[in-house]
Amino acid sequence: MTAPTDREIRHELEKGYGHVIGAKRVWNIRIAHALRTLSGTSASRRLQEWRNQLMAVLKVEDQVLKSYDRMAGVYNEVNQTLRNDSSFVLCKYNGEYVRRAAKDIYADQLRYFSEAVMRPRLRDDMTILEIGAGETTTIHNLMSSLAPLNLRWSGLELSWSRIAEGRRWAIEHDTMGQIDHLVAASAVDIPFADDSFDVVFTNGCVEQIRYGTERALSEILRVARHTVILYEPSYELGDKYQRIYLEGAQYCRGIPALLNGLGANVVRHELAPHSFNPFCCYAVTVIEKAPKHDVRPPSLSCPQCKKALKPIAEGYFCDSVDCSCVYPSIWNIACLRQEDAIFASKYVEMVTASKRTSPDMQSPPFDKVSDAQTFT
Ligand SMILES: C[S@@+](CC[C@H](N)C(=O)[O-])C[C@H]1O[C@@H](n2cnc3c(N)ncnc32)[C@H](O)[C@@H]1O
Ligand SMILES: [Zn+2]
């Protein structure tokens, strides 16, 4: 036998491994590798450190998550304290800077939101989702003030500790029966199907999303069936002091223009009359939507591909080919940020196989999978 020539070997290589050595792919690899190497050299590492220090001041999602997560519990406590606080504070009342007792301005602000903003849009049996629900402080305030309306509540919040505090509060105050979902997720990738909730609202959440505001607004619009209510500080309608404050706080701007670009049907956009913080007056923005889907119970969907998630013992599974991932559920709170996904392409095989093997092989966690039929 004669040895193959170089040409023949090359041909075999290209025929069998064209997908690995294709010219376009190889160039992409070379460029990506060069970029990676470049940012790893010592000169650029110093540059990187300097850049990171500078960037640490920016209101990016990770910073927002960490700072809010560390203050879990504070809102529910302050919410109680303010109701009895008769000290005088500078606030905005009917659009004027005045000094009033903290408990009065706080009560008027809450009453306005409940009675003038929310109640006219609500009917019995409606489903309501708050985006950026924190410790469910606003949900609980509304539950009490809107009674006896019979409403189903859900909350989505970036920080696990805050929404966990919300769940703790609900258990302690016996309100879990009125709550459908409490999830840890981001407004920029909402893990619910289209048209899931009759009303979706925010109370000071979009303000925190300086990068990704448009995407968050489009997601909020997507999961609402009828109405979106945004209660957010307004740069555009604010006075010069408010603009200085909002710039320093890095609150997002331009919500009306972004909504306009998204084709939203804005039926109301105005400054709320009262504000506890005189430099951070909120605007009410109401958007109406013609629902595309019939009424159906809100269901969890993958934050990446939006396919319906399957409940499993450890949390939720997305079986779309690209995702194939598990999202954990911790203390009954589904953790559904894209970053929470654990890529597990063999999950279904493992669970199915473990069900067939001998009982002593069926050690946890597989033997706890509740909905065996999901994978068979
Ligand atoms: C000013 S607090 C308001 C909390 C709550 N709405 C209330 O009324 O008590 C803002 C909340 O938005 C949350 N948040 C910020 N960015 C978010 C995002 N991208 N997705 C979901 N929640 C977010 C924060 O973690 C925080 O809990
Ligand atoms: Zn998915």
Flag whether pLDDT at 252 surpasses 70. Answer: yes
Structural tokens at position 76: 């529910």
Q: Where are the alpha helices (DSSP H) in 147-279?
A: 160-172, 213-223, 240-248, 255-261
Q: How far apart are CA 233 and CA 240, in angstroms?
A: 14
Q: Tell me, using a 6 A CB cutoff, whether residue 136 lines ligand 1.
A: no
Strand partners, 316: 311, 327
Q: Tell me, using a 6 A CB cutoff, whether residue 188 lines ligand 1.
A: yes
Q: Which of 69, 80, 161, 205 to mutate to test the pocket of ligand 1 (most atoms within 8 A of CB)?
A: 205
Gap from CA of 204 to ligand 1 centroid (Å): 7
Q: What is the pLDDT of residue 295?
A: 78
Q: What is the DSSP string of 36-89?
A: HHHHHSHHHHHHHHHHHHHHTTS--HHHHHHHHHHTTTHHHHHHHHHTT---EE
Q: What is the pLDDT of residue 375?
A: 40
- Looking at the whole model, is its pTM more than 0.85? yes
Could you identify the residue written with the tokens 């909402």? 190
Q: Out of 2-6, 133-137, 313-317, 371-375, pick the least confident.
A: 371-375
User: Which atom number of ligand 1 is nearest to the Cα of residue 216?
Assistant: 19
Structural tokens at position 293: 């889907």
Q: Tell me, using a 6 A CB cutoff, whether residue 61 lines ligand 1.
A: yes
Gap from CA of 303 to ligand 2 centroid (Å): 7
Residue 369's pLDDT band (cuts 50, 70, 90): very low
Q: What is the pLDDT of residue 360?
A: 54
- Name the more confident of 313 and 153: 153
Identify which of 50, 109, 70 has the alpha carbon closest to the alpha carbon of residue 276: 109
How confident is the model over 14-39, as a mean pLDDT? 89
User: What Cα–Cα distance (Å) separates residue 99 from each residue in 58, 105, 278?
Assistant: 33, 9, 10
How confident is the model over 222-251, as a mean pLDDT? 96
Using DSSP, state whether 230 is helix, strand or coil. strand
Q: Tell me, using a 6 A CB cutoff, whether residue 76 lines ligand 1.
A: no
Q: Tell me, using a 6 A CB cutoff, whether residue 133 lines ligand 1.
A: yes
Does residue 215 come out as left (phi exceeding 0), alpha (psi in the -120 to 50 range) or beta?
alpha
226 in Cβ contact with 286 (< 8 Å): no
How confident is the model over 179-208, as a mean pLDDT? 97
How confident is the model over 285-299, as a mean pLDDT? 86
* Nearest Cα residue to atom 10 of ligand 1: 205
What would the pLDDT profile of 137-150 be if each residue is shown by its tens digit?
A: 999 999 999 999 99
Residue 47's pLDDT band (cuts 50, 70, 90): confident
How confident is the model over 32-43, as a mean pLDDT? 78
Give the rounded percent of residues in the chain with a pLDDT score beyond 70. Answer: 94
Q: What is the pLDDT of residue 37?
A: 82
What would the pLDDT profile of 212-229 be if each residue is shown by its tens digit?
A: 999 999 999 999 999 999
